[in-house]
Amino acid sequence: MAELNGRPMQETSTEPGEFPDRDAARIAAREPLSELPPATADLIGVSDADLDSAEAAFAQQQHDEILRGLDSYAQSYDAKIEEINVTNRRLANDMLKQVAKVKDSITTMWLLGGAINAKQKADLAFVEKSERELDKLEHST
């Protein structure tokens, strides 16, 4: 015989709809039976139609409350996701501003470099032209 927590387990019943002895004893110990089962209890002043109507309305109300709760839950995350999107857009805009500044700085450096190169060439051309003119003056005298 198998053991569970040091105690021998009872054989289980193979009859359909019949509880094993150990389960029936456990259930009986926790939940004492009332004198009348709930399905046959005498409902004072309530007809079966009223009971069915009340149960249907209660079930519908529960259903609606569950759906409203789920909508509220989804909306709370929808708002959080929107906040994340706003933050991400701010971050992306900050990044684009910094990239634009870096591009502007690089363009400015390139233009300054080009101006310096042009100035150097112009100065060199002026000096070379001046030297040629001076050489012509010295040879003509």
Cα distance from N-terminal residue to C-terminal residue, the chain: 135
Above pLDDT 90, what percent of the chain?
41
Bigger pLDDT: 61 vs 127: 127
pLDDT confidence of 131, banded at 50, 70, 90? Answer: very high
Q: How far is CA 19 from CA 2, 28, 67, 80, in A?
A: 18, 11, 37, 50
pLDDT for res 31: 58
pLDDT for res 19: 52
Q: What is the mean pLDDT of residues 47-56?
A: 67
Instruction: Determine the Cα angle at 91 with ends 87 and 96, to 5°.
Output: 145
Bigger pLDDT: 49 vs 88: 88
- How long, in residues, is the chain? 141
Q: What is the mean pLDDT of residues 83-94?
A: 97
pLDDT for res 27: 63
Q: Please say if the pLDDT value at position 44 is more than 50.
A: yes
Q: What is the mean pLDDT of residues 1-27?
A: 55
104-121: b (≥16 Cβ within 10 Å) or e = eeeeeeeeeeeeeeeeee
